[in-house]
Structure 1
Amino acid sequence: MVENKISDNIEEYLEVLYRNGNNGEQVSTTQLSKELGIAPGSVTQMLKKLENLGYIAYTPYKGATLTDEGMKIAQKITRKHRILEKFLIDVLKIKEENVHEQACEMEHTLSDEAERALCAMLNNPDVCPDDNIIPACNFDFESCKQCYSQKDFDQIFNRKFNLLSISELTSNTEGTISFIRGNDELLDDIANEGIKVGSHLKYEFNNNRTSNHYLVTIDDKELNIPIEMANNIFIRV
């Protein structure tokens, strides 16, 4: 697979937009300025550039939202960052206070092939050390089991659409379950609930969330999904 290089600066902007508005929420220029440590005027100029590139939709004095293409890039760099954080802490035992900065430096150079290998080594992690969701990979698989069965990385292709896990949904959402992450045990547990790729999912924000469960409707059946499953069931958005 050919990897198109995007500047580190653009990736940082898209990463912050994803972190604050991954389900279509508008992120203000002020918020971006604060998180990036960049003057509001400079942020505005970059947002105009990102809009011209097709990565965001920008409304002056209000903020920006990711386009499908922008979200694809943002998810990819966010995923690499959070997997690296987990690797640095769980495997290399780096001090937590040093991990974020090191992951920021490494995420831009981590190849897709190395990302896949790290994911497998870490047993398909769903959250980073800060308990933020690790986005799904952008490889064209329906489950991690399919990924394991493909040994030749050059035969792996990218998914054509973006995904969000149930746990990432922040508004009323309907969609098709298109990827399920996890080891064999978790995949079996999810299958035993009657949940499968191709099922239709409906989620009503605010009404359908307890502290550790999500109430969803899947193929007209109401289910109370524990968070460890919700983190790993992805719908097409």
Structure 2
Amino acid sequence: MAEKISDNIEEYLEVLYRNGSNGDQVSTTTLSNELGIAPGSVTQMLKKLENLGYIEYTPYKGAKLTDEGMQIAQKITRKHRILEKFLMDVLKVKEENIHQQACEMEHTLSDEAERAICTMLNNPDLCPDNNVIPACNFDFDSCHDCYSQKDFDQVMNRKFNLLSISELTSNAEGTISFIRGSSELLDEIADKGIKVGHHLIYEFNENRMGPNYLVTIDDNELDISLEMANNIFIRI
């Protein structure tokens, strides 16, 4: 059984992911402000996280997640954002209370319960704050595979990390490795000829107009919707 990671460490990794999911360094000041912890204490924790192999830390500059740290950060962020969606849409908790409630629940939510909530909510892509919910870490190509799987104890976890197209904040390219969504959305994506295993190139444009994304997939330039961009994940 994997060793339990402390809630405190998960909180640090979650903030690092929220501010640097695309490999950007996150400053000590940002961590201090978001966590409400003195800069000196933050620096001590960053040194600990580096020793654990979860981050790369550069004094006076900041920290960024390693692959191992990214896996943990994505998992806890996914649970937090799915819980927020569940609390708002199903339990009708007041909007101003859902973030703190999700913070308290995320560390104890089992993987089994997370899967059940995801299925009940029909594989949501956004939390109430319109932040992308990270992909699950099962070694599936799409949610179709998840629907047909009865024994999750037999499912392998991915050995690499994913980001959705809409999370990319700089030029990037990689292999499409997971496509999420309802049967209808999966069919729409398939109708565009987009499949797992295709090579994708995204040229970041901070002045992009409108909700759509322009990508190149196996030498074909395609215009895809924001919803598709939220649910097509590339290996990073």
Common fold: TM-score over 0.5: yes
- Cα offset for 1:4? 3.8
Residue 89 of structure 1 corresponds to which residue in structure 2?
88
Q: Deviations over 1:44-102 (max 9, x none)?
A: 00000000000000000000000000000000000000000000000000001110001
- Cα offset for 1:169? 0.3
Residue 69 of structure 2 corresponds to which residue in structure 1?
70
- Cα offset for 1:210? 2.9
Q: Give, in whole Å, the separation in 1 of the partners of 2:207 and 2:217.
A: 13
SS of 1:201 mapped into structure 2? strand
Superposed CA RMSD in Å reads: 1.0
**Any gaps of 5 or more consecutive residues in structure 1?**
none
**Any gaps of 5 or more consecutive residues in structure 2?**
none
Q: Give, in whole Å, the separation in 2 of the partners of 1:207 and 1:101.
A: 32
Residue 52 of structure 2 corresponds to which residue in structure 1?
53
Q: Deviations over 1:78-131 (max 9, x none)?
A: 000000000000000000111000100100000111111110000000000000
Q: Give, in whole Å, the separation in 1 of the partners of 2:217 and 2:158.
A: 23
- Cα offset for 1:209? 3.4
Q: Give, in whole Å, the separation in 2 of the partners of 1:87 and 1:95.
A: 12
Equivalent pairs counted in the alignment come to 236
Q: Percent identity?
A: 82
Give me the TM-score of the superposition, normalised by structure 1.
Answer: 0.98
Cα distance 1:184–1:208, how it changes in 2: closer, same or farther (>3 A)? farther
- Cα offset for 1:3? 4.8
Matches within 5 A, 1:75-224: 75-206=74-205, 209-224=208-223
Report runs of 4+ in structure 1 exceeding 4 Å deviation: none
What amino acid is aligned across from residue 128 of structure 1 in structure 2? C
Residue 39 of structure 2 corresponds to which residue in structure 1?
40
8 Å Cα contact 1:179-1:233 kept in structure 2? yes
Q: Give, in whole Å, the separation in 1 of the partners of 2:2 and 2:147.
A: 21
Residue 10 of structure 1 corresponds to which residue in structure 2?
9
- Cα offset for 1:139? 0.7
